[in-house]
Chains A and B, each alone.
Chain A
Amino acid sequence: MKRFTGPAFLFLLLLVALALVACAPKQAVKLTVWMNGSDSFIGPNEQQKPQEQWYISEAFRRFEKANPGVTLELVVQADQNAAHTNFKTAGLAGNAPDVANLWTGMPIFAMKEVILPLDKLVPADDLKKIVGWESVRDGFKADGTILGYPAGQNQICFMMYNKALVKKAGMDWDANPPRTIKDFDAALAKIKAIGVTPILVDEAAQSVNWFFTWICDYWWAQMTGNENIYAETLGQKKFADDQGFLKVLAYYRTLYTNGYFRKDLATSTDSFTQFINGKGAIWPSVTAQLADAEKALGADLGVLMPPEFDSSAKLQNSTIGGPGQSLVVAKNTKYPEMAVKLISFLNSKAEVLAAEKINRYPVVRTDITPADLGWAADSNIAKIQKYATTYNFWVDNQLTPDVANVFYIQCVLVATGKMTPAQFASEMDKKAGLK
C-alpha cells in the first residue's frame, strides 16, 4: 500500500490543479468603442442626462450581461470629423479602438488600411435583413470588401410642404402628388400664383447646397448612375461630359429664373422660420428635421418625395438617403469576433426598436414595419419609411473631398446665373484632376 502513496498523491495534485484551471475566471475581454456624440446611437437630447441613463449605456449593459466576461468602454467623440483622422492615426500606431462609429462611403474607404474587412465575420442573416451595405462596401461595389456595418439611423431626403398653402393653390398632394418634372413645374407655378414662395431654401447656409444635395442629386443619380458619378469624381470620366448632370443643373437654374426659389437663396438663412410661418410652400429636408416641423405646423405638414426627372430611367420611385453612419472594427483589435458580435447586437431588431426612443428615424432593417415602431400608417414618418429600403445612396458622400468642396460651395452660383452648368462642371473636373 505504502508504495502507491507517492503516485496517488501526484495524481491527486494533478486533479486539483486541473480543477483550479477549470474554475479560474476566463480571460477578461475588454472592447473600447468610439461613438459619435450626435446623429448616432446617442440621441440629440441624451447628453443632458447622466451617461449611465443613455440608450447606448443601457444597450452595453445588456450586451455585457448576455456575454459574461466582456466589458465595454464607451468613448464619446464630440467631433466626428476629427474622429476619422484620430482613428486612422491610432490605427497606424496599432492602438485604435476595437469598434468605431464613423461615416459611410468615402471617409472609410480612405482608411481601409486600418479597418478590418468583415466579409467573413458578418452573419448571413445581417446581410439579408440590414440595408445599406453598399455604403460600406469598398468602392460602393456590390462585391466590394465590407469595411463596416451600416448603422444607426437612415436619413431620407424629401420635401416638406404646407398642406394649407397647397390646398389654397388648388391642389391635394396627399391624393395626387406631382410625380414628373412637368407636373412639378405646373404645381410650383400654381403656388407662385397665390403669392407665396414655392420653395424656401437657404442654398448656401453652412456653405452647403441643400436643395441640390437633397433633391437634385436624386435626379442626377437617375440620369447618370452612381457608378458614373463615382468614376467622374475619381477623374476617370468628366463631369463636363455628363449630359445628365448638365441637364439637372440647367433645370436647377430654371427653378430660380422662374421665381420658384426665394430670390435671395444664395444669402438667406431663415427659410425654416419662414416655412413654419407659412411664407413658403416647400422646404427640402431630411428625416432629422421632421419632428420640429410637425410640432410647428401640425396636421398642415405633408411630405413630398422628389418627382421623377426622367421617367424612362432605371432608377424610379426613390430618393437620396441611406445610412450616413457606420460601425467599423479596427485591424488591431484582439477580439474581432466579439467586436462584430457587438455591432450585430446593436443592429439587431430588438435594439433597433429600443433605439427608436431616442431617435425617430427610418430604420436600417427590412424586418421592421411602421407598425412595429408604433407609427400610424398615414403618418409622415411612415410614408418616409417606405423609402428606407429603396433609396439611392448619398451622391455627395461619393465625391472626393476636393470635388465635394467645389460642389457644396459653388453650386448655388449656377442657380443665380453667375456660373453656367458647363463652367461649374469644369471646376469639378479640375478638382478631380482633369483639365
Chain B
Amino acid sequence: MKVTSIGNERARIRRREILLSLLPVVLILAVFRVYPIVVALAKSFTNWNGLYRSDFIGFKNYVDFVNDGPFWMILRNTMILLINVPLQVFLGIVIALLLYEQVPGWRIYRAVIYTPQIISAVIIGFLFKIFFGLEGPFNAILNAVGLQGLAIEWFGNSLTALGVIVFSIVWFSIGWQAIVILGGLSAIPPSVFEAAIIDGANYWQRAFRIVIPMLVRVLEFSVIASGVWSLTQLFPFLFSMTKGGPGYETSTLDYMIYLKSFGMGFGTDYGSATAVAVMLLVLVLALTIMEMKLADRADDWG
C-alpha cells in the first residue's frame, strides 16, 4: 500500500511539473495566437471599422465578398500563385542533389543560391518589376535577339503577370528549399547508399527508391511551410510589382486584407478584412491537412 501511495504521489508531482512546464507556452499561445484568432473570427461578423463601430451583421461580410465581382478572380489568383510550391520544391531537390554530390565549386553555388533570401522581398519585387517592364531589360534582350513578338507588357494581363510573380518567388525561395532538403539528405546514413550501390542500384534508382522516400518528412515540412508562406506572405512581392492590378488581376486573398483595411477611398473596412482573413485561414488549414494526409500516405508507400 505504502509503495503504491508513494508511486501515486510521484506521478502526481510529475504531472504537476509537466503542467507547470507547459503553462508558459500555453499562455503565450493563448494570448498571442488563440485570442487574436477568436477576436478576428468574432469581428468578421461585424461592421467593425477599427474603433468605434462594431455591430453584429451576421454573414454579410462573407456573402458580400463572395458576391463581389472580383472574388473568383482573387481566389483563382491565390491558387495560381501556389504553383510556385511544387516548382521550388522540385528545383530545390535538384539543386540539393547537385550540392550533395559535391559537384565542382559546390561551396560557392551553395552560398550564391542562398543569396536572394537575404535580400528584402520589396527590393526583389522592384527589381523584377523593372526587369520585366515594357521597356525593361528582359524585353530589350528579346528585341535584340529578334523575338519582338514575345516582348509584351508582362504585368499588363493576369496570366503573364502571375507568371512573373511565380518566377520571382521561385527565384527568391529556391536557396531556402535547397538548404532544407540538403539538410534532410545529410541525415541519411551513407551506409544506405553504399549498400544500394553494392546491390547494383543506379543513380536514378537511388534517387527515387532511397532519397525521395527518406525525405518525405522533410518535403512535407518544406511544402507546408512554403505553401502557408505563399498564401499569407506574398504581400511585399505583390505590392512592389503590381499593387494587385491592373484592376484586381493579380490580387490575392492576402492582398485583399490590405486593400480592405488600408486601401484608397478613405475606407477602413476592418470587419470585411477580417472576414477575408478568416477565409484565408480556413483555406490554409484545409490545404495543410490535405498535404499532411498525402505525406502520410507517401510515407506508408515508402
Establish whether residues A86 and B51, one from each chain, have CB atoms under 8 Å apart when the complex forms: yes
- For the complex, what is the distance from the CA of A207 to the CA of B49, rounded to whole Å? 21
Establish whether residues B266 and A106, one from each chain, have CB atoms under 8 Å apart when the complex forms: yes
CB-nearest residue of chain B to A208: B264
Establish whether residues A402 and B267, one from each chain, have CB atoms under 8 Å apart when the complex forms: yes
Please provide the chain A residues from 409 to 435 with a CB less than 8 Å away from any CB of chain B in the complex.
409-410, 412-413, 416, 418-419, 427, 430
Please provide the chain A residues from 369 to 416 with a CB less than 8 Å away from any CB of chain B in the complex.
399, 401-405, 407-410, 412-413, 416
Establish whether residues B268 and A405, one from each chain, have CB atoms under 8 Å apart when the complex forms: no
Q: A268 on the interface (CB 8 Å rule)?
A: yes
Q: B9 on the interface (CB 8 Å rule)?
A: no
Establish whether residues A402 and B51, one from each chain, have CB atoms under 8 Å apart when the complex forms: no
Establish whether residues A84 and B266, one from each chain, have CB atoms under 8 Å apart when the complex forms: yes
Q: B183 on the interface (CB 8 Å rule)?
A: no
Chain B interface residue count, Cβ-Cβ cutoff 8 angstroms: 32
Establish whether residues A413 and B264, one from each chain, have CB atoms under 8 Å apart when the complex forms: no
For the complex formed, measure the closest distance between the CB of A430 and the CB atoms of chain B, giving whole angstroms: 7
Establish whether residues A103 and B69, one from each chain, have CB atoms under 8 Å apart when the complex forms: no
Establish whether residues B268 and A408, one from each chain, have CB atoms under 8 Å apart when the complex forms: no
Establish whether residues B50 and A408, one from each chain, have CB atoms under 8 Å apart when the complex forms: no
- Could you say which of A206, A207, A402, A412 has the most chain B C-beta atoms within 10 Å of its C-beta? A207
For the complex formed, measure the closest distance between the CB of B52 and the CB atoms of chain A, giving whole angstroms: 5
Please provide the chain A residues from 328 to 376 with a CB less than 8 Å away from any CB of chain B in the complex.
none
Q: A267 on the interface (CB 8 Å rule)?
A: yes
Q: A264 on the interface (CB 8 Å rule)?
A: yes
Please provide the chain B residues from 14 to 72 with a CB less than 8 Å away from any CB of chain A in the complex.
49-52, 68-69
Q: A67 on the interface (CB 8 Å rule)?
A: no
CB-nearest residue of chain B to A401: B267
CB-defined interface of A87-116 with B at 8 Å, one 1/0 digit per residue? 011001000000000010011000000000
For the complex formed, measure the closest distance between the CB of A89 and the CB atoms of chain B, giving whole angstroms: 5
CB-nearest residue of chain A to B244: A207
Establish whether residues A92 and B245, one from each chain, have CB atoms under 8 Å apart when the complex forms: no
Give chain A residues whose Cβ lies under 8 Å from the Cβ of B244.
Answer: 207, 409
Give chain A residues whose Cβ lies under 8 Å from the Cβ of B135.
Answer: 264
Establish whether residues B245 and A266, one from each chain, have CB atoms under 8 Å apart when the complex forms: yes
CB-CB under 8 A for A207 and B134, given A92-B52, A269-B129, A409-B248:
no
Give chain A residues whose Cβ lies under 8 Å from the Cβ of B246.
Answer: 204, 266-267, 412-413, 416, 418
Q: A51 on the interface (CB 8 Å rule)?
A: no
Q: B243 on the interface (CB 8 Å rule)?
A: yes
Q: B176 on the interface (CB 8 Å rule)?
A: no
Establish whether residues B69 and A267, one from each chain, have CB atoms under 8 Å apart when the complex forms: no
CB-defined interface of A247-281 with B at 8 Å, one 1/0 digit per residue? 00000000000000001101111000000000000
Q: A81 on the interface (CB 8 Å rule)?
A: yes
Establish whether residues B133 and A401, one from each chain, have CB atoms under 8 Å apart when the complex forms: no
Give chain B residues whose Cβ lies under 8 Å from the Cβ of A416.
Answer: 156, 246
- Please tell me which one of the listed residues B49, B52, B134, B264 contacts residue A264 in the complex, with CB atoms under 8 A apart: B134
Main secondary structure of the interface of A (DSSP, over half): helix
Q: B265 on the interface (CB 8 Å rule)?
A: yes
Q: B263 on the interface (CB 8 Å rule)?
A: yes
CB-nearest residue of chain A to B251: A409
Please provide the chain A residues from 195 to 239 with a CB less than 8 Å away from any CB of chain B in the complex.
204-208
- For the complex, what is the distance from the CA of A85 to the CA of B220, rounded to whole Å? 45
- Could you say which of A85, A204, A264, A412 has the most chain B C-beta atoms within 10 Å of its C-beta? A264
Q: B235 on the interface (CB 8 Å rule)?
A: no
CB-CB under 8 A for A405 and B242, given A88-B52, A427-B69, A430-B69:
no
- For the complex, what is the distance from the CA of A409 to the CA of B246, rounded to whole Å? 8
CB-nearest residue of chain B to A93: B52
Establish whether residues B245 and A81, one from each chain, have CB atoms under 8 Å apart when the complex forms: no
Give chain B residues whose Cβ lies under 8 Å from the Cβ of A88.
Answer: 51-52
Main secondary structure of the interface of B (DSSP, over half): loop
Give chain B residues whose Cβ lies under 8 Å from the Cβ of A427.
Answer: 69
Establish whether residues B156 and A266, one from each chain, have CB atoms under 8 Å apart when the complex forms: yes
- For the complex, what is the distance from the CA of A412 to the CA of B243, rounded to whole Å? 13
For the complex formed, measure the closest distance between the CB of B248 and the CB atoms of chain A, giving whole angstroms: 7
- For the complex, what is the distance from the CA of A311 to the CA of B242, rounded to whole Å? 39
- For the complex, what is the distance from the CA of A266 to the CA of B245, rounded to whole Å? 8
Establish whether residues A85 and B50, one from each chain, have CB atoms under 8 Å apart when the complex forms: yes
Establish whether residues A419 and B264, one from each chain, have CB atoms under 8 Å apart when the complex forms: no
CB-CB under 8 A for A401 and B265, given A204-B245, A264-B156:
yes
Q: B296 on the interface (CB 8 Å rule)?
A: no
Give chain B residues whose Cβ lies under 8 Å from the Cβ of A410.
Answer: 247-248
Give chain A residues whose Cβ lies under 8 Å from the Cβ of B247.
Answer: 409-410, 412-413, 418-419
- Please tell me which one of the listed residues B68, B155, B156, B266 contacts residue A81 in the complex, with CB atoms under 8 A apart: B266
Give chain B residues whose Cβ lies under 8 Å from the Cβ of A89.
Answer: 51-52
CB-CB under 8 A for A405 and B267, given A204-B246, A266-B246:
yes
- Please tell me which one of the listed residues A81, A208, A419 contacts residue B268 in the complex, with CB atoms under 8 A apart: A81
CB-CB under 8 A for A206 and B243, given A107-B266, A263-B134, A430-B69:
yes
CB-defined interface of B227-250 with A at 8 Å, one 1/0 digit per residue? 000000000000000111111110
CB-CB under 8 A for A85 and B153, given A207-B245, A208-B264:
no
Establish whether residues A401 and B248, one from each chain, have CB atoms under 8 Å apart when the complex forms: no
- Please tell me which one of the listed residues A106, A405, A407, A409 contacts residue B245 in the complex, with CB atoms under 8 A apart: A409
- Please tell me which one of the listed residues A106, A264, A408 contacts residue B153 in the complex, with CB atoms under 8 A apart: A264
Establish whether residues A404 and B266, one from each chain, have CB atoms under 8 Å apart when the complex forms: yes
Establish whether residues B266 and A401, one from each chain, have CB atoms under 8 Å apart when the complex forms: yes
Establish whether residues A263 and B264, one from each chain, have CB atoms under 8 Å apart when the complex forms: no
Give chain A residues whose Cβ lies under 8 Å from the Cβ of B51.
Answer: 85-86, 88-89
CB-nearest residue of chain A to B242: A267
CB-defined interface of B132-155 with A at 8 Å, one 1/0 digit per residue? 011100000000000000000101
Please provide the chain B residues from 245 to 301 with a CB less than 8 Å away from any CB of chain A in the complex.
245-249, 259, 262-269
Give chain B residues whose Cβ lies under 8 Å from the Cβ of A204.
Answer: 243, 245-246
- For the complex, what is the distance from the CA of A268 to the CA of B129, rounded to whole Å? 9
Listed A/B pairs (27) with beta-carbon separation below 8 Å? A81-B262, A85-B52, A103-B266, A204-B245, A206-B264, A207-B245, A263-B134, A264-B153, A264-B155, A266-B153, A267-B133, A268-B133, A268-B134, A401-B266, A402-B265, A402-B267, A403-B265, A405-B264, A408-B265, A409-B244, A409-B263, A412-B247, A416-B246, A418-B157, A418-B246, A418-B249, A427-B69
| 5 closest Cβ pairs, A-B complex | A404-B265, A401-B267, A266-B246, A267-B155, A264-B134
- List 5 other contacts, CB 8 Å, given A81-B266, A264-B156, A427-B69: A207-B243, A401-B269, A404-B265, A412-B247, A413-B246
